Structure 1
Amino acid sequence: GLAGRVRLGASTGAIAHLLPQSVAQLREQYPDIDVQIAVLTSQETLARLAQGTLDVGLVALPQSPVAGLAIRSWRRDPVMAFLPADWRCPARITPAWLAKQPLILNDATTRLSRLISEWFALGGYRPVPRIELNFNDAIKSLVAAGYGAALLPHEAGAPQSNARIVMRPLRPALSRELGIAHRAGPIERATQHVLDALWELKAR
Structure 2
Amino acid sequence: MELSSLRIFKTVAEEGGVTQAAARLNRVQSNVSARLTQLEESLGVTLFHRSGRRMLITEEGERLLAYTERLLQLADEAQEAMRGDRQPSGPLRIGSMETTAAARLPQVLGQFHRQYPQVDLLLDTGPTDYLVQAVLNHRVDMALVAAPVERPELMQLPVFDEELVLLTDSLHGPVKSPTDVARRTLLGFRSGCSYRRRLERWFAEGGVSPARIAEFGTYEAIIGCVAAGMGVAMMPREVLKLRELSQSVRIHTLSADMARVQTMLIWRRDIAQHAARDAFAAAFDALQER
Q: TM-score, normalised by structure 2?
A: 0.62
Match of 1:121 in 2: 204
1:181 to 266, 282, 286: 266
1:47 to 128, 133, 153: 133
Q: Is 1:84–2:173 an aligned residue pair?
A: no
1:170 to 254, 257, 261: 254
Larger displacement relative to structure 2 (46-55 or 7-16) = 46-55
Q: Find the residue that maps to 2:151 and give its secondary structure.
A: coil
2:186 to 103, 116, 120: 103
TM-aligned CA deviation for residue 104 of structure 1 = 1.6
Answer whether contact 1:78 1:174 (CA < 8 A) is retained: yes
1:105-158 superposed Cα distances (whole Å, 9 cap, x missing partner): 333322222222222222122223352224211101112223222111223763
In terms of Rg, which structure is larger? 2
Structure showing greater relative contact order (alpha-carbon pairs closer than 8 Å, 6 or more residues apart): 1
Answer whether contact 2:89 2:276 (CA < 8 A) is retained: yes
Q: 1:11 to 1:123 in 2, by over 3 A?
A: same
Q: 1:118 to 1:103 in 2, by over 3 A?
A: closer
Report runs of 4+ in structure 1 exceeding 4 Å deviation. none
Q: Percent identity?
A: 23
Answer whether contact 1:82 1:143 (CA < 8 A) is retained: yes
Cα distance in structure 1, aligned partners of 2:143 and 2:91: 14
What amino acid does structure 2 have at the position aligned with 1:152? M
1:62 to 148, 163, 187: 148
TM-aligned CA deviation for residue 22 of structure 1 = 0.4
Superposed CA RMSD = 2.3
What amino acid does structure 2 have at the position aligned with 1:57? A
Structure 1: any 5+ residue segments left out of the alignment? Answer: none
Cα distance in structure 2, aligned partners of 1:131 and 1:100: 13
TM-aligned CA deviation for residue 96 of structure 1 = 1.5
Match of 2:17 in 1: none
Cα distance in structure 2, aligned partners of 1:74 and 1:152: 18
TM-aligned CA deviation for residue 171 of structure 1 = 4.3
Structure 2: any 5+ residue segments left out of the alignment? Answer: 1-86
Match of 2:244 in 1: 160
Cα distance in structure 2, aligned partners of 1:151 and 1:141: 13
